[in-house]
Amino acid sequence: MPQELQGFVPPTTPATSAHAPGTLVDKYGRHITYIRLSITDRCDFRCFYCMAEEMEFLSREQVLSLEECLRIARTFTGMGVTKVRITGGEPLVRRNAMWLLRQIGRLEGLKELVVTTNGSQLDRYAAEMRDAGVKRVNISLDTLNAERFKAITRVGDISKVLRGIDAARAAGFSGIKLNTVMMRGENDDEFCDLVQFAVDKGIDISFIEEMPLGTVDHPRADTYFSSDDAMALLRSHFELVSSAESTGGPARYWRIPGTETKVGFISPHSHNFCDSCNRVRITCKGELYPCLGQNDALALMPVLRGNPGDDAPLRQAIVDSMGIKPKGHDFNEQMQNPKVVRFMSMTGG
């Protein structure tokens, strides 16, 4: 085991991290086929559930270079990962992000390159992203009200996001999805309007239960809105038909007959999806988090920089990370007192 990895508990053994050649399987038998790779902690918004208003961002030296990001993506795809999602912060504010997307899009074995964005830069980059090989794009949108949007994002201009959504549609991605974080008393009166907006645009939408990560300016127990409650609310306005469709992530989908729109629910509280987890996250600092809801991580940056011409130690470190992937999180117990104190923007949205 590389020296940088000494001290991690529990240690990885063949019993805890058995996997077939060319695949990654954790000790619970879950195949890892999907990585979420953050390329920056910076963002041009300051959404209150994602980051502090006065954030201290990492220096350039503390952040993976784009070449290091490519090495990570290439190594994972060489071990059976077929889906890479690029996240941030806001990934499109990273200088030369298009170069990285083009390089990852060409990787052998990759089936799907996806980007999660706040939409502010899509008007500028959507067509180039599509040409680079990005197949799908997820766009965060919690409200259609300009004043409320400014309050949630602290600095954002909704008109830029709306132009970005239209630019993404014009670019011809195979899938466009809105991501809406559900917050009681903040945006629950707009859920039906947001679905209708998605229907009118011919795109999909997923509603996400707020997760207890970092510190926020409001008590989560008061703002928590469950997927079941959202489903009941939406069914009073739309016919929702259960669908077995999947995009390889945690969302569970329903179709609205007569439209092109799927409505998804991501339910880490009410309908825990840990038993089928197929993903790991890598922060822009090179920290590999096998679970979003736990603090255990493995540092890849020292391995990358200590072995610039040899990916074998990186592959071994990734295999070792399977030994610290837990069975699951327990966000319900963390609602009042989160034990994961890093913000979502630090982990990768």
Min mean pLDDT across 23-27, 280-284, 334-338 is at: 334-338
- Give the pLDDT band of residue 275 (cuts 50, 70, 90): confident
- Total domains in the chain come to 1
Which CATH number covers residue 246? 3.20.20.70
Min mean pLDDT across 11-25, 148-162, 265-279, 319-333 is at: 11-25
**For the CA atoms of the chain, what is the radius of gyration?**
19
pLDDT of the residue at 95: 96
Check pLDDT > 70 for residue 16: no
Helices (H), the chain: 66-77, 97-105, 122-132, 146-153, 158-171, 191-201, 220-223, 227-235, 301-306, 312-321, 344-347
Report the alpha-carbon distance of residue 191 to residue 205 in Å, rounded. Answer: 10
Work out the percent of the chain whose per-residue pLDDT is above 70: 83
* Stretch 216-226: mean pLDDT: 72
The boundaries of the domain holding residue 147 are 3-347
Q: Dig out the tokens for 87 from the structure.
A: 């996240």
pLDDT of the residue at 214: 53
* Stretch 161-175: mean pLDDT: 97
pLDDT of the residue at 9: 34
For 184-206, what is each residue's pLDDT tens digit? Answer: 999 999 999 999 999 999 999 99
pLDDT of the residue at 324: 86
pLDDT of the residue at 13: 40
Min mean pLDDT across 245-249, 271-275, 287-291, 344-348 is at: 344-348
Exposure letters 242-257 (e unless 16+ CB within 10 A, then b): eeeeebbbbbbbbbbe
